[in-house]
Amino acid sequence: MLGIVRQKMLEQSLKKIRPAVSVLRSYSSAAKQMTVREALNSALDEEMSADSKVFLMGEEVGEYQGAYKITKGLLDKYGPERVLDTPITEAGFTGIAVGAAYYGVKPVVEFMTFNFSMQAIDHIINSAAKTNYMSSGRISVPIVFRGPNGAAAGVGAQHSQCYAAWYASCPGLKVLAPYSSEDARGLLKAGIRDPDPVVFLENELLYGESFPVSDEVLDSSFCLPIGKAKIERKGKDVTIAAYSKMVGYALKAAETLEKDGIDAEVINLRSIRPLDRSTINASVRKTNRLVTVEEAFPQHGVGAEICASIVEESFAYLDAPVERIAGADVPMPYAANLERMAVPQVEDIVRAAKRTCYRSVS
Amino acid sequence: MNSASCAAKISTQPFSLNPTSPASHDRPLVSPKPASLFLGSTRKLRLSSSSKLNLHRRSGTVVAVSDVVKQKKSKSTHSLLITKEEGLELYEDMILGRAFEDMCAQMYYRGKMFGFVHLYNGQEAVSTGFIKLLKQQDSVVSTYRDHVHALSKGVPARAVMSELFGKTTGCCRGQGGSMHMFSREHNLLGGFAFIGEGIPVATGAAFTSKYKREVLKEADCDHVTLAFFGDGTCNNGQFFECLNMAALWKLPIVFVVENNLWAIGMSHLRATSDPQIYKKGPAFGMPGIHVDGMDVLKVREVAKEAIGRARRGEGPTLVECETYRFRGHSLADPDELRDPAEKAHYAARDPITALKKYLIENSLASEADLKAIDKKIDEVVEDAVEFADESPVPSQSQLLENVFADPKGFGIGPDGRYRCEDPKFTEGTAHV
């Protein structure tokens, strides 16, 4: 059965290589629509039913059905021993989950937003990420930290930071950032099965968005590889690399650019650590131009790392300097118009791509 | 009952015994003295131990064991607390801890050991008193002062010494070091450099014991966890968070506070609004006990009760052990702030000397028996040093190993195997 799944996935990928007009929405057979929220919920449900060592822990995950309703229905199904409502003690309950993971149970810790993970970051980095190394392989930590990351709408500076770069700089962690429902399901299942600590960065604004999913994705053993990016749209003129919500913006930008005769290749990073350098480099060697897009602060960010990787490995192939699109270098403002200016928009990506193609100086 | 007589002693004792100096711990219990004489003036504290012992009020349902024991010891005819075998086992463990730490100091000054090394001299009664009551499956979580906890738990002296030397035969193959002792086999979960970090981890280990029993249906899983930490940690937020959750979920854990009065150079009294740590237990719904941590037998009695409670599923306990470290905070600490009189006072209460006296007075062992143990331990420690000296340093390839449990870090596929082993995964396309 699994062999058939793999074969079907291969066929699926072959189908995607054929050019499609409206990129994301119309490929493949029997497309059912699924929101990212449903994808995450079903992934958690399936993993919890497959392995009784998996349990959930976090604020409001039980009776409230999840602060963003991601864990809806799981308390009723699995009971309070496996879906634990915690007091407001990030440092405490994260540490408890890590200690439990030392003993082989598989906690999935929810942070109401990743901003709150800063209260628990000592445990994520020092007790979870570094332990397999410090104990020289004797104690592994099969834990998943998940929750919404990055900007939402009008939530202000302390609720809007993106933590991808911070966590991805730490060896011992795997950092995943899904975009579509397929990504959400596949990567969360992969993360839960993984024997290492995984930081799973979701996006609040994507929870309600619907994506088509094929039967393979709906299968309960569906899993995506950690560390492999996905080429959402093939192109030949410029590579646009993005993760999470910015993938959607990049795809819209690609549509706009197509009208101006620029054929953009959009890469959905999916995995920030390990970063899929080979895919990005292969793509840049083909197109010779790169735009990186992220919502986070620009300094020391994911875009900076990708740029460094390209310069180290594919410098001779670049025809134009790398363009980095990132959030504004300010704490997130509250006013709606300022907020819009502090986060990349589709026009910014289009302009950046045109700059790399020397079609524009602005 | 005991508490009534204690209460009577509480208000009178300090006046009669300490005429020349202001009160120590019992600040809230006596008429107010000017605060300036007391705060930061560590010279005046820690006087005769008897006044200290009678001051604490017991909380929760646990009997005031340490007072009971104290009174028992003063009578001439009483049942012994330990058998000869147990006595020798306790003695051997404490001597091992002491000899090992002294050897660590020597090795450090000879350059064989490096970095941060925190020694446990003087506190052996706590480690031995608690850990020798555990089974192998029970867990111990400690701080950076973890060498002796590792030894008491059963990690061979050779493995600990090699780890300190940074050799590949160490318990963590040289990758952890002094502050990060881990042993899967002996259920020693570290070794944490950040104080307070080990407490939630220990609570998690206790959580797993309960989870295994209730969800995974391993009905006989009654593993207990001990969390060791110091007085400074008791002001940290994580400590309180875990007291709350452990009591809330009735986890099988014992929180052992090794109150040695000093957090590097910060006196416990200068840092804490209410220095009586055991009182923080009842605030969260668990018993809080204070015990003389320089007396291994008293510690053992209290530990039996607390570990028994946890094993029976009655929930957590907070045990405050009044103890002292004879050396500085670490080998790099010049230890200038502590009053020599205080150090002398506690040196006179050396737990090893006390146990030795007890064993000999009660005819449980002879001088010759104890000398034989001393000699044996000396040999064990010397052998550990030789072994560590001769062991190889880690090879270069070990640098990049074990960052992930999953060898190349790419996750597990739907067939349950590592993705990186799947040839298709590493082929050109980025699609699934």
For A156-172, what is each residue's pLDDT tens digit? Answer: 899 999 999 999 999 99
pTM of the model: 0.80
- The reply to whether A69 and A165 lie within a common domain is yes
**A177 with A270: CB under 8 angstroms?**
yes
The answer as to whether A347 is a domain residue is yes
B244 to chain A, any CB pair closer than 8 A? The answer is: yes
Residue A255 has pLDDT above 80, yes or no: yes
- Choosing from A157, A191, A218, the residue where a domain stops is A218
The answer as to whether B309 is a domain residue is yes
- The reply to whether A321 and A198 lie within a common domain is no
The answer as to whether B60 is a domain residue is no
The answer as to whether A125 is a domain residue is yes
* Residue B183 bridge partners (DSSP): B188
Q: Compute φ and ψ for B194, nearest 5 degrees.
A: -85, 125
For B213-259, what is each residue's pLDDT tens digit? Answer: 999 988 888 999 999 999 999 999 999 999 999 999 999 999 999 99
- The reply to whether A139 and A263 lie within a common domain is no
Least confident of A47-56, A173-182, B49-58, B231-240: B49-58
Supply the pLDDT for residue B191: 87
Residue A337 CB contacts under 8 Å (≥ 6 apart), including other chains: none
Supply the pLDDT for residue B41: 35
Pairing of strands B225-230, A230-233: unpaired
The answer as to whether B68 is a domain residue is no
- The reply to whether B260 and B405 lie within a common domain is no
**Active-site residue, selected from the candidate residues A38, A46, A110, A159:** A159
Domain encompassing residue B418: 395-431
- The reply to whether A175 and A236 lie within a common domain is no
Quote the number of domains for chain B.
2
Output helix, strand, coil percentages for chain A, rounded to the nearest 5.
Answer: 45, 15, 40
Supply the pLDDT for residue A12: 53
The answer as to whether B340 is a domain residue is yes
The answer as to whether A63 is a domain residue is yes
Residue in A9, A87, A267 nearest the CB of B432:
A9
Which residue of A lies nearest to B425 if distances are taken between CA atoms?
A: A225
Q: Which of B116, B227, B129 is nearest to B179 (CA)?
A: B116
Q: Report chain B residues whose CB lies below 8 A from the CB of A131.
A: 182, 190
DSSP structure string for B80-139 = -SS-HHHHHHHHHHHHHHHHHHHHHHHHHHTTSS-S-----TT-HHHHHHHHTT--TTSE
Quote the number of domains for chain A.
2
Across the range A54-76, mean pLDDT stands at 94
Q: What is the CATH number of the domain that holds A84?
A: 3.40.50.970
- The reply to whether B315 and B219 lie within a common domain is yes
B contact test, residue of A53, A136, A143 with most B CBs within 10 A? A136
pLDDT confidence band for B21 (50 / 70 / 90): very low
- The reply to whether B283 and B169 lie within a common domain is yes
For B369-426, what is each residue's pLDDT tens digit? Answer: 999 999 999 999 999 999 999 999 999 888 888 889 988 888 888 788 888 888 777 6
- The reply to whether B239 and B360 lie within a common domain is yes
- The reply to whether B121 and B90 lie within a common domain is yes
- The position carrying tokens 């959930």 is A56
- The reply to whether A264 and A134 lie within a common domain is no
- Choosing from A174, A195, A218, the residue where a domain stops is A218
Residue A147 has pLDDT above 60, yes or no: yes
Q: What is the CATH number of the domain that holds A328?
A: 3.40.50.920
Domain encompassing residue A349: 230-357
Residue in B409, B416, B428 nearest the CB of A274:
B409
- The reply to whether B164 and B267 lie within a common domain is yes
- The reply to whether B265 and B346 lie within a common domain is yes
- Choosing from A218, A246, A268, the residue where a domain stops is A218
The answer as to whether B374 is a domain residue is yes
- The reply to whether B231 and B218 lie within a common domain is yes
- The reply to whether A201 and A263 lie within a common domain is no
- The reply to whether B293 and B365 lie within a common domain is yes
- The reply to whether A213 and A123 lie within a common domain is yes
The answer as to whether A317 is a domain residue is yes
- The reply to whether A200 and A276 lie within a common domain is no
A contact test, residue of B210, B404, B427 with most A CBs within 10 A? B404
Least confident of A310-324, B56-70, B388-402: B56-70
B241 to chain A, any CB pair closer than 8 A? The answer is: yes
For A93-110, what is each residue's pLDDT tens digit? Answer: 999 999 999 999 999 999
DSSP structure string for A119-185 = GTHHIIIIIIITHHHHTTTSS----EEEEE-S--SS--GGG----HHHHHTSTT-EEE---SHHHHH
Residue B10 has pLDDT above 60, yes or no: no
Q: Report chain B residues whose CB lies below 8 A from the CB of A134.
A: 172, 175-176, 180, 182, 190-191
- The reply to whether A182 and A325 lie within a common domain is no
- The reply to whether B408 and B373 lie within a common domain is no
- The reply to whether A214 and A234 lie within a common domain is no
Least confident of A13-17, A302-306, B240-244: A13-17
- The reply to whether B382 and B411 lie within a common domain is no
**B224 with B311: CB under 8 angstroms?**
yes
Residue A156 zone, left/alpha/beta (φ > 0; ψ -120 to 50; rest): left
Residue B79 has pLDDT above 60, yes or no: yes
Does A103 contact B409 at a Cβ distance shorter than 8 Å? no
Catalytic-residue membership of A63: no
The answer as to whether B171 is a domain residue is yes
Structure tokens at B156: 């061979």
The answer as to whether B21 is a domain residue is no
Which residue of B lies nearest to A87 if distances are taken between CA atoms?
A: B245
Supply the pLDDT for residue A29: 53
Distance between CA A34 and CA A209 in Å, rounded?
Answer: 8
- The reply to whether A205 and A132 lie within a common domain is yes
Catalytic-residue membership of A312: no
Long-range pairs, B77-81, Cβ under 8 A, ≥24:
B80/B362, B80/B364, B81/B297, B81/B300, B81/B301
The answer as to whether B364 is a domain residue is yes
